[in-house]
Chains A and B, each alone.
Chain A
Amino acid sequence: MCALGVVTSQHRARKYFIALQSEKDRAQEMEVEWGQLRLELGSLALPVRVEKIASTQLRMRVPQGKQIQFVRIDSAKGVAP
C-alpha cells in the first residue's frame, strides 16, 4: 500500500515537473521573441525612418519659432489639466 503510494506520488511529481519544465521553456522562448520584437520595434522607430515618413508621407515639418507657445506652470494655474 505504502510502496504503491510512493510510486504514484513519484509519478505525479514527475508529471508536474514536466509541465513546469515546458512552461519554463515557453517562458524562455517568449523572452527570445520579446528580444526580437524589441529589435524590430527599435528598427521601425529609428529616427531616420520616423523623420522620413513624417516629412514625406505625412508632410510634417518642424514648427517655426513663432508657432511655438510655451505655457508656463506658474502662469497656467487653474487651467492645468
Chain B
Amino acid sequence: MHHTSTLQTSGQMALPPWRSRVLFVCLLAGFAGLLARGVYLQGINNGFLQQKGDARYGRVVTINAHRGMISDRNGEPLAISTPVDSIWASPQDVKATPKQIKKLANLLDLNAAELKRRMLNKSRDFVYLKRQLPPELAGKVAGLGIPGVSLQREYRRYYPSGDVTSQLLGVTNVDDKGQEGIELALQSRLSGKPGSQRVIKDRRGQIVEDVASLRLPKEGENVVLSLDNKIQFMAFREIRKAVEEHKAKAGSIVVLDAKTGEVLALTNWPSFNPNNRSNQEPEMKRNRVVTDMFEPGSTMKPFAIAAALDLGKIKPDSIINTEHGVYTLGGRTIHDTHPEASLSVAQVIQKSSNVGAAKIALLMQPKQFWQSLTKDGFGARTGSGFPGESAGIVRDYKKWRPIEQATMAYGNGISVTLLQLARAYTAFANSGELLPVTLFKKEGPSIGVSRFSSATAHAVKDMLEMVVRPGGTAPLAQIPGYRVAGKTGTAHKVKGGRYVDHYVASFVGMAPASNPRFIVAVMVNDPSGAAYYGGLVAAPVFRNVMGAALRQFNVPNDAPLGNVMRPDPSEFIGEDV
C-alpha cells in the first residue's frame, strides 16, 4: 500500500509542472477555437449560411398571371392570351456542339452561323434566340438539352376576328402590353400581375411545402365590350365592299343601340390583321370612327332644324323661301342643286336644301345655335374613353360671321367625328333624350339628358322618314318591312383651307322608325368612282347593315313588306353639296 503510494507520489513528482499547463492551454485553445468558429458561423456569417441552406431546398417560384380576355356582348372571344415559350441563351454558359447548334437552328428556322454568333456573343449575358414559339416546338428545343439555353414562359395575344375589329381593340406589343385601342385604354385592368411564392422543393424538384406567399398574383380582368360579333362582321363586310366599289380612300361605320347608346359595331376599311405584327401601317391602324374629324355636310341639317323648332322659331309646316336655289350672304353664294321657290321645313330635310337650312339657322341668335350644337355633343369628346378620340371643332360663336352661321346649318365649317354624329342622332330616336355612348356592355338602363322636346324629336324623325321615300335623297336606304328615318350627307373636302372637288359621302339613319332600335352611321371618304352622293354611296351600306341587324335581333316589322318604293332613276335627287 505504502509502496504504491510512494510510487504514485514519486511519479507525480517526476512529471514537470509545465506539461499540465501545456495541456491546459491546448484544451483552452481548442475550446476557444470552437467558440470562435461557433461565433463565426452562428453570429457573423449566420445570414449567409442560412441563405445557403435555404437555397438547397427553398425556392421562390413565380406564379404566372395572364392578360384578361376581351369578348363581345355574347361572350365570344375577341382577344385572348395563350401561353407560348421564348428561347433564350446565356452566352457565358453555353456549351454546345456544332451538331446541336445545327439541330437548334433547324428547329428555330434560323441560319446556323448567325445563331452560333449570337449564342456565343460573350459580351452579353442574355440573348433571345427566338420569341413566342408554340409550346410543342419549345418542348423539342428543351429536349436537345443544350446547357445555357433555356425557355421562358410568355403570353401571346390572339385576335380570332382578325381585321374586323382590329382598330377598335388595338394591339399589344411583344411583351403583352397594350399599345393602341382598347388594349391601351384598359391596360391596367387587362394586365395581370405575376405573383411570387416561397416554397420548399424536394430532391425531385417537387414542391412539398408552401412556406409563404410573397406576392399574390393578380389575374387580368376579362372585359366585355358592347359589340355584337355578327353585326360587326356585317358592318365590316359592307363598308369594305362600298370602299372598293366606289374606289374610295377609306370608309367607317358605327352601329349604336338606339335605346342604350351601346356601340354594337364600329369598324373601318382599310384595316389590318392584328395577328401579324409585320405589315402594320399607321394609316391602317387608325380608328377613323373616333379619331378622324370631317365636315359632315347635310347630316348636320336636322340639328339646325331641331334647334329652331325647339326655340319656336319655326313649325314643321312653316314655309321657307328658298330663293330659287341661290342665296347670297356676305359676298358668298349658297346654291341648291334642285332649285325651288319655297319649301316646307320637312321638304328642306327631304330635298336637303342648303338655302332652306341656312335661312332656318339665321333665325336663331348665334349664341342659341352654338349652345344647341354644343348640347348635341359636338365639339366635345363623347366620353367613350378611346385613346386618341377627337373632340371635333365648333368654333366660338362670338367670332361667327352670318355666312358661317348659315353654312354650319348644312355642316360646313364644323368638324365632327362619326361617333359624335351617330350619338347626336340618339336624341331623335328617343323622344329628345340624348344618350351617352359606351363601348362596354351595359347592365342597367342608360340615363341620358333631355335635349329636345318630345314633339320636336318626333317632328324631326318624321321629316327624316321622308328622306328615304321617293322624292327624298336616299330611296336606296329603304328596307323591306321596316320604316327607316335617316339623312344623307355629301360634303366637299377641305384641302389647304379651300373646298376641293373631293367628297365625303355619309348617311346616318335609324330603324324601325316607329320605335328605333338601332342607329347606323356610315361615312365614305373620297369616293372617286362615278357616284359620290351620300344617297348612292353610303345609303346602300346603311340598308344592308341595318337590315341584317334587324333580322339578327328579331325586330318585328313596323311596315307592310311591299313598302320599298323605287323611284324612277331619272328622278334621282342628288343632294346639295
Q: Which residues of A contact B (CB under 8 A)?
A: 13-14, 17-18, 21, 32, 35-36, 38-39, 42-43, 45-48, 62, 64-66, 68, 70, 72
A17 contact from B161, B208, B561, Cβ within 8 A: B208
B210 at interface by CB-CB < 8 Å: yes
Given the complex, which residues of B lie within 8 Å of A13, measured CB to CB?
Answer: 209
Q: Is the CB of A43 within 8 A of B233?
A: no
Closest chain B residue, CB of each to CB of A72: B556
Which A residue's beta carbon lies closest to that of B547?
A62
Q: Which residues of the partner chain A approach B206 to less than 8 Å between Cβ atoms?
A: 18, 21
Q: Are A70 and B82 in contact (CB under 8 A)?
A: no
A sample of 19 inter-chain contacts (CB < 8 A) reads A14-B202, A17-B208, A17-B210, A21-B206, A32-B83, A35-B81, A35-B82, A36-B82, A38-B80, A39-B80, A39-B160, A42-B77, A42-B160, A43-B160, A46-B233, A47-B230, A62-B551, A65-B480, A72-B556
Chain A residues in 8 Å Cβ range of B556: 70, 72
Residues of A within 8 A of B158 (CB): 39
* Contact with B207, one of A18, A39, A70 (Cβ below 8 angstroms): A18
Chain B at the A interface: mostly helix, strand, loop or mixed?
Answer: mixed
Nearest A residue (CB) for B554? A70
Chain B residues with a Cβ closer than 8 Å to the other chain, count: 26
Q: Is the CB of A46 within 8 A of B160?
A: yes
Please give, as numbers and ranges, the residues of chain B lying within 8 Å of A45 by CB-CB distance: 76
In the complex, whether B506 has a CB less than 8 A from a CB of chain A is no
Q: How far is the CA of A17 from the CA of B82 in the complex (A)?
A: 28
One of B76, B233, B557, B561 near A48 (C-beta < 8 A) = B233
1/0 contact string of B180-211 vs chain A (CB within 8 Å): 00000000000000000000001000111110
Other-chain residue from B82, B83, B161, B234 in contact with A46 (beta carbon distance below 8 A): B161
A17 and B207 form a contact (CB under 8 A): yes
Please indicate the chain B residues that have their CB under 8 angstroms from the CB of A35 in the complex. 69, 80-82
Name which residue of chain B comes closest to A68, CB basis.
B481
Q: A36-B82, A39-B77, A39-B82 in contact; A14/B208 too (CB < 8 A)?
A: yes
Chain B residues with Cβ under 8 A from A68's Cβ? 481, 551, 557
Please indicate the chain A residues that have their CB under 8 angstroms from the CB of B207 in the complex: 17-18, 21
| 6 nearest A-B pairs in the assembled complex, by CB-CB distance | A42-B160, A65-B480, A47-B233, A14-B208, A65-B561, A43-B160
Residues in A with CB closer than 8 Å to B160 are 39, 42-43, 46
Which residues of chain B have C-beta atoms less than 8 A from A65's C-beta?
480-481, 561
Chain B residues whose CB sits within 8 angstroms of the CB of A21 once the complex forms: 206-207
The CA of A62 and the CA of B202, in the complex, are separated in Å by: 64
Which residues of chain B from 30 to 70 have any CB-CB distance to chain A below 8 Å in the complex? 69
Contacts of B86 in A (CB 8 A): none
Contacts of B234 in A (CB 8 A): 47
**Closest residue to B158 on the A side, CB-wise?**
A39
| Interface check B267, CB cutoff 8 A | no
Q: Is the CB of B80 within 8 A of A47?
A: no
- Is B229 part of the contact surface with A, judged by Cβ < 8 Å? yes
Cα–Cα, bound, A66→B560 (Å): 10
For A62, list chain B residues within 8 Å (CB): 551
